[in-house]
Chain A
């Protein structure tokens, strides 16, 4: 019997989130490496997702296991975890990937806990070792160190990966016989008890400007930006370059911007064509989230700032001088 690699689909606002396709791309790659007809299957929970499920078949899933029910409209550990666990117990996947998002990062370990198996968190790469077991590369100490995590004696071997780590790639082989298997939830609904914890509502606050993961140019600021006024200038620069603004932890703490644009181990991983960093010291927490950028340009007064070691171009200067001049120069060049 062929083995199965599973991807748990991340759903946002009734749509499959991009990270799901990134995970599917890696799952397709791992299935190819495992060989012997290994199949990729997707677990999908939510409400009103039938048409979305079809998209997963186009991206390499052989089967989509779908639980579609109003009771699953919002995530709850009391509904999602037992359902996923029952599927895994019955069908025994060998590998199961989750998005390391707000939902995936709590649901994945809960399911791993129920299955008494291992889960590698926030992986930066997934490989197979010479025994064809999953080898997960995981950062620790804010990305200073990368460790291999193995799960040699338990199944499924589970892992979570942040959005933006893997590149979304069309599958090599498209299935023509992919199918959606819909779970009958009649019995299950009667057993449901959410009295201890009920999801009430979801409120989205779309970020200002272009989403970070879609921006080809990212202008990123650190504590060295110094003032709210400079921060506005930074946003102006990002806008005039058709890009997005990003930050490290201190600008969030200072209240210049929100956590939604934070890059690094506690934020997002990005891979823009160009990354322009201002006043960033380059703590490993941050570098871990931006080192996949195409070209890195950094401006910092401190010539010993660690960010310079991971930069293609170094500007050792006061950003109070460089930033306004650059904003002005771009306005002039583009007018």
Chain B
């Protein structure tokens, strides 16, 4: 049985460079100058899950993103991994969205793709959390808008039988929970589900010819303004600041033996009981 999937991806500033994120002292906004934009690490695992599903059962993999227009490059990268088509929801009207407004916009995008193709998606994959905001709320809220069951922290996902039943595992603190589900399902994929594939040169070549559709506010004609963008977001951002976590940092110098001697003294002075 072939399955149609959509994968929601978010272009994010490369997490490797977060030490370079600063706050503009005048405008009080975040400056991320010179930090390259990448596909979120967990989003890549979500794409991999969708591609593996298509390889086993057939079907299609669409990629959907709500982002500024320059996200096109990132979507080409995802297409190069193997996705069939990409959709970019880009409009000033979508800007400043919190998780509820973001999930609503993605929901409207999904319904629009479905209406155009006269079908329903079986699986909606998201990365567990984005690397920048990391709220991890969008997949659950997207599930609620779509009215279908949703799981977050999915670390195992396999077909149980040929009747359309799937066995899934979600991570818990110190363990896991096992589920039996059937599509449609919205799944937030944890990074340990799989290792995302590398992009081949052939993939890059093919990606250039794959369809990439850009939709603005006017294209989402079913959407209500009440739930879109900054004005449709129940949460609003206040001040931002860089936390001051600095400590005195006394340097322990000397020979390794002297240093270890000092460490033992420090441990004892702070109430650590030494036991073999």
A14 at interface by CB-CB < 8 Å: no
- Given A112-B100, A145-B242, A331-B276, is A198 in contact with B235 using a C-beta cutoff of 8 Å? no
User: Does the CB pair B274–A334 fall under 8 Å?
Assistant: yes
15 CB-based A-B contacts, threshold 8 Å: A74-B177, A77-B143, A106-B139, A121-B133, A146-B241, A146-B242, A150-B237, A153-B234, A197-B182, A200-B167, A273-B270, A310-B246, A312-B247, A322-B263, A331-B276
Asked if A271 is at the interface (CB within 8 A of a chain B CB), the reply is no
Within 8 Å by CB of B100, from A118, A217, A284, lies A118
Would B174 and A205 count as touching, CB distance under 8 A? yes
Kindly state the separation between the CA atoms of A170 and B272 in the bound complex, as whole angstroms.
26
- Chain B residues with CB below 8 A from A283, complex form: 18-19
Of chain B, the residue at the smallest CB distance from A146 is B243
List of A residues within 8 angstroms of B243 by Cβ: 139, 143, 146, 291
Check if A149 sits within 8 Å of B237, measured CB to CB.
yes
A102 partner, pick from B15, B170, B182, beta carbons under 8 A: B170
A314-B270 CB under 8 A given contacts A109-B140, A325-B257, A329-B260:
no
**Can you name the residue of chain B whose Cβ is closest to the Cβ of A78?**
B149
Interface stretch (choices A86-94, A175-183, A223-231, A294-302): A294-302
Question: Is A187 an interface residue, CB under 8 A from the partner?
Answer: no
Instruction: Select which of A152, A200, A266, A313 is within 8 A of B250 by beta carbon.
Output: A313
Give the interface centre of A108, A149, A153 by most chain B CB atoms within 10 Å.
A149
Known interface pairs A199-B177, A205-B175. Does A118 touch B98 (Cβ–Cβ under 8 Å)? Answer: yes
A199–B267 CA distance with the chains assembled, in angstroms:
46
Across the interface, B252 reaches (CB within 8 A) one of A116, A206, A314, namely A314
Given known contacts A309-B246, A322-B260, is B238 in contact with A121 (CB within 8 Å)? no
- Give min CB distance, B42 to chain A, whole Å: 10
Residues of A within 8 A of B263 (CB): 297, 313, 315, 322, 326, 329
Docked Cα-Cα span, A81 to B148, in Å, equals 12
> Would B15 and A142 count as touching, CB distance under 8 A?
yes
Chain B residues in 8 Å Cβ range of A196:
148-149, 181-182, 184-185
CA distance A108 to B140 in the complex (A): 9
A201, B174: Cβ atoms closer than 8 Å: no
Instruction: Give the size of the chain B interface in residues (CB under 8 angstroms).
Output: 86
Q: Which of B73-81, B150-158, B201-209 contacts A (4 or more CB under 8 A)?
A: B150-158
Chain B nearest CB from A269 CB (Å) reads: 13
CB-based contact A147/B137 at 8 Å: no
Least CB separation from B166: chain A residue: A197
Known: A329-B260, A330-B274, A334-B274. A314 touches B251 (CB 8 A): yes
Residues on A with C-beta less than 8 A from B249 are 308-309, 311-314
Instruction: Check if A110 sits within 8 Å of B140, measured CB to CB.
Output: yes
User: Which residue on chain B has the smallest CB distance to residue A136?
Assistant: B235
A200 touches which of B30, B103, B179 (Cβ 8 Å): B179
Q: A114-B144, A310-B247 are in contact. Are A151 and B18 (CB under 8 A)?
A: no
Q: Which of A125-177 contact B (CB under 8 A)?
A: 135, 138-154, 163
Give the distance to chain A from B169, nearest Cβ to Cβ, in Å: 9
Q: Contact mask A216-236 → B, CB, 8 Å, 1/0?
A: 110000000000000000000
B263 to chain A, nearest CB (A): 6
A148 adjacent to B259 (CB under 8 Å):
no
Is the pair A141, B21 in contact by a Cβ cutoff of 8 Å? Answer: yes
Chain A, Cβ-Cβ closest to B16: A283
Asked if B181 contacts A198 (CB within 8 A), the reply is yes
Given A144-B242, A274-B270: A329 touches B256 (CB 8 Å cut-off): no
Interface residues of B (CB under 8 A from A): 13, 15, 18-19, 21, 23, 30, 98-100, 103, 129, 131-137, 139-141, 143-145, 148-153, 167, 170-182, 184-185, 188, 192, 227, 233-243, 245-252, 256-257, 259-264, 266-267, 270-276
Report chain A residues within 8 Å CB of B172.
102-103, 202, 204
Q: Are A101 and B173 in contact (CB under 8 A)?
A: yes
With known contacts A198-B179, A202-B177, A313-B252, A144–B21 Cβ distance under 8 A: yes
- Once the chains bind, are B177 and A75 in contact (CB under 8 Å)? yes
Decide: B242 and A240 in contact? CB cutoff 8 A.
no
B174, B242, B266: the one contacting A207 at CB < 8 Å is: B174
Q: Measured between alpha carbons, how far is A144 from B236 in the docked complex, in Å?
A: 20
Give every chain A residue within 8 A of B248 (Cβ-Cβ).
312
Contact of A309 among B150, B234, B247 (CB under 8 A): B247
CB-based nearest B residue for A329: B260
Contacts of B144 in A (CB 8 A): 81, 110, 113-114
Contact A273 B238 (CB under 8 A): no
Which residue of B143, B145, B275 contacts A240 across the interface (Cβ within 8 Å)? B275
State A143–B260 Cα separation when bound (angstroms): 32
Known: A113-B144, A150-B238. A241 touches B272 (CB 8 A): yes
Q: Is A23 an interface residue (CB 8 A)?
A: no
CB within 8 Å of B: which of A63-113? 74-78, 81, 101-103, 105-110, 112-113
Question: With a CB–CB cut-off of 8 A, which chain A residues contact B261?
Answer: 329
- In the complex, besides A102-B170, A144-B242, 19 extra interface pairs with C-beta distance below 8 angstroms are A106-B140, A107-B140, A109-B137, A139-B134, A141-B132, A147-B238, A150-B236, A163-B173, A197-B180, A200-B177, A200-B180, A216-B271, A242-B275, A259-B192, A273-B270, A284-B19, A297-B266, A312-B248, A325-B257
